[in-house]
Homo-oligomer: A and B are copies of this chain.
């Protein structure tokens, strides 16, 4: 960040204290300090360089990731980093690696499903990385008919390959494997087992097991740094005590015994993983928005005044696409923060055998996972388009960000499937209202159903749309009416499952409405608390309004068809939105500075902190190996004979 700051004029005009906003974004001063320290540590160490990734072959790329993972682990040990610091360091290394699955899935799953005895045996090995684990649940084809005998696994090699597990293909020594537990001839359903898959001596694949990498994935780099794998078993024997037995055991005699540990604890893990995904969405979206915002302030096109063209960020069309994404990044941040609280709450309740909030917490995390990842994937690509042609260059950082992000829409529950789960919960909530069951948590508003069905929106002038309670009620009314409409139409079917199938597109829309309400509600809730810092809360209020009113505009059909608002009120919301864009405009660059991303982490010439884009874009081009020679390899064989009309005799 040396040299002239080409964006200084933008930073000088902002109307809030960016350092205070950094604390808000990070969640706390402590979290900010850890992130700041770790991001600089990574950025300043040439071993973590990543700008050369696009020039590596897949094998080189993969080997380079192995090196970085080992180097990061060495640093973590040398510097005696805490678990939190180590997590942040890996985050800023910014490269999918087998360690993500080892730490993010294998270890948590062991902790959740192992008995005390099992934990004592396996956890120390995993913590020291004396074993490396992955998580084998998905299968190649359509079936889930894995057959599993107590100590013998028989797979049909044609259909029952495990397929996709990250870290499986080349690195992991152990896997948590999911399979049907069959003992004494009875099928007890899917259970998790620890299976050693590679030798700890020479890394060879153990007999009876076949493992490979599943091939090249989307993007120049992205997940190609990861060895997503395929595996099949042929009569593998594992010891009985490698069934993870916290919830159920198989005795020496082959008897299946359920423990008294409640199985609902498994849902706690799902809440944990999906909460993490929502926070990741705010990371990825904020990163794209940071790049697009800075470059929109640098780039000038058309509309010349005084001989200088207009900054692209001054165009309303640019603002109306960019600022809602900026607002969404903050909105997802705060809903992620709230999910963090929810997870703690759920965990405490589960420990006290209180399962009452679990279905609601599960539905809400599933839904939020779905809509934040979908919006983030689309948002990254929109940011890329907002950068014009240069967004198509890998040096913009955006193509790779997109390629590495999009699988989030599919993994840990396909986004549409998750929304259908939410819809099922909503319809159930509505149908139970008559029996007097009180809806809890994020569905509590359904308890005021009669009011919501009758209420009319009070907006009379544009500024009324800045009133949080008016906005909140509009989102509640829309969502409640959509759920009720779905429930009403469902009740006309004699077969409920058939009705659910037939109406599923509308059910998905009702679920989206409910989840958007949650995001709006949690943003408003955040703003009701104390937020220190000069001008900070004011900016966040504007972003909250932008998120809500943009969402309203985008889903206007819902709001109008449910008669939640009138066309006139919709038009006033648009007026207010334009006014908000103008108010955010001078703060836009500072609002993305608040993410505190290093140039290393951003990995984008367009998004450079100093805004010195063009000379660097130019210099970067010349470093490309294609420019090693002016006359390209292939000229003599394929260009010259063509120009000289001598193709006839060429071997091509």
Residues of A within 8 A of B (CB): 47, 54-55, 57-59, 62-63, 66-67, 69-71, 73-74, 77-78, 128-132, 138, 140-143, 158-159, 161, 164, 169-171, 173, 200, 202-205, 211-220, 223, 227, 230, 299-301, 309, 315-317, 320-321, 377, 381, 384-385, 388-389, 391-395, 399, 403, 406-407, 409-411, 414-416, 420, 501-506, 508, 553, 555-563, 567, 570-571, 574, 578, 614-615, 617-618, 620-627, 630-635, 637-643, 645, 647-648, 650, 652
Closest residue of chain B to A214, judged by CB? B621
A66 with B639: CB separation less than 8 A: yes
What residues on B are CB-neighbors of A213 within 8 Å?
621, 624, 626-627
Q: Which of B617, B623, B624, B632 contacts A66 (CB 8 A)?
A: B632
A57 with B54: CB separation less than 8 A: no
CB distance from A8 to the nearest CB of B (A): 18
Q: Which of B403, B632, B647 contacts A227 (CB 8 A)?
A: B632
CB distance from A317 to the nearest CB of B (A): 5
A502 with B67: CB separation less than 8 A: no
Which residue among A142, A205, A645 has the maximum number of chain B CB atoms within 10 Å of its CB?
A142
CB distance from A219 to the nearest CB of B (A): 7
What residues on B are CB-neighbors of A634 within 8 Å?
62-63, 66-67
Cα(A637)–Cα(B299), bound, Å: 45
What residues on B are CB-neighbors of A615 within 8 Å?
158
| Oligomer copy total | 2
What residues on B are CB-neighbors of A58 within 8 Å?
54-55, 624-626
B403 with A389: CB separation less than 8 A: no
CB distance from A176 to the nearest CB of B (A): 18
Closest residue of chain B to A202, judged by CB? B631
A218 with B561: CB separation less than 8 A: no
What residues on B are CB-neighbors of A73 within 8 Å?
642, 647
What residues on B are CB-neighbors of A622 within 8 Å?
212
- Binding site of A, secondary structure by majority: helix, strand, loop or mixed? helix
B638 with A216: CB separation less than 8 A: no
Cα(A553)–Cα(B384), bound, Å: 27
Given contacts A501-B316, A560-B561, contact A71 B652 (CB under 8 A): yes
A212 with B621: CB separation less than 8 A: yes
A63 with B381: CB separation less than 8 A: no
Cα(A553)–Cα(B561), bound, Å: 11
Cα(A395)–Cα(B571), bound, Å: 47
Given contacts A58-B626, A170-B632, A217-B392, contact A567 B560 (CB under 8 A): yes
Given contacts A66-B634, A631-B204, contact A614 B140 (CB under 8 A): yes
Given contacts A614-B141, A627-B212, A641-B70, contact A388 B414 (CB under 8 A): yes
What residues on B are CB-neighbors of A385 within 8 Å?
406, 409-410, 415
A388 with B403: CB separation less than 8 A: no
CB distance from A513 to the nearest CB of B (A): 13
Q: List 14 A-B residue pairs with CB atoms under 8 Å apart, sorted by A's residue number.
A: A63-B632, A66-B637, A74-B652, A170-B626, A203-B635, A204-B630, A205-B630, A215-B624, A217-B399, A389-B410, A392-B406, A392-B407, A556-B558, A557-B570
What residues on B are CB-neighbors of A389 within 8 Å?
138, 164, 407, 410-411
Query: Known contacts A385-B409, A389-B411, A505-B574; can you find 7 more A-B pairs with CB under 8 A?
Result: A55-B57, A62-B632, A78-B648, A316-B502, A389-B407, A392-B407, A556-B557
CB distance from A370 to the nearest CB of B (A): 12
What residues on B are CB-neighbors of A411 within 8 Å?
389
Given contacts A159-B614, A230-B618, contact A70 B639 (CB under 8 A): yes
What residues on B are CB-neighbors of A632 within 8 Å?
62-63, 66, 170-171, 227
What residues on B are CB-neighbors of A578 within 8 Å?
502, 505
CB distance from A170 to the nearest CB of B (A): 4
Q: Which of B62, B63, B215, B414 contacts A393 (CB 8 A)?
A: B215
A300 with B399: CB separation less than 8 A: no
Closest residue of chain B to A321, judged by CB? B416
Closest 10 CB pairs of A and B: A556-B557, A142-B300, A218-B399, A63-B634, A66-B638, A213-B626, A560-B560, A170-B632, A320-B505, A561-B567
CB distance from A41 to the nearest CB of B (A): 15
A142 with B309: CB separation less than 8 A: yes
A393 with B217: CB separation less than 8 A: yes
B393 with A410: CB separation less than 8 A: no
Cα(A389)–Cα(B161), bound, Å: 15
Which residue among A200, A227, A317 has the maximum number of chain B CB atoms within 10 Å of its CB?
A317
Cα(A142)–Cα(B173), bound, Å: 53
A67 with B317: CB separation less than 8 A: no
CB distance from A506 to the nearest CB of B (A): 7
What residues on B are CB-neighbors of A625 within 8 Å?
58-59
CB distance from A277 to the nearest CB of B (A): 15
What residues on B are CB-neighbors of A381 within 8 Å?
377, 381, 406
B420 with A317: CB separation less than 8 A: yes
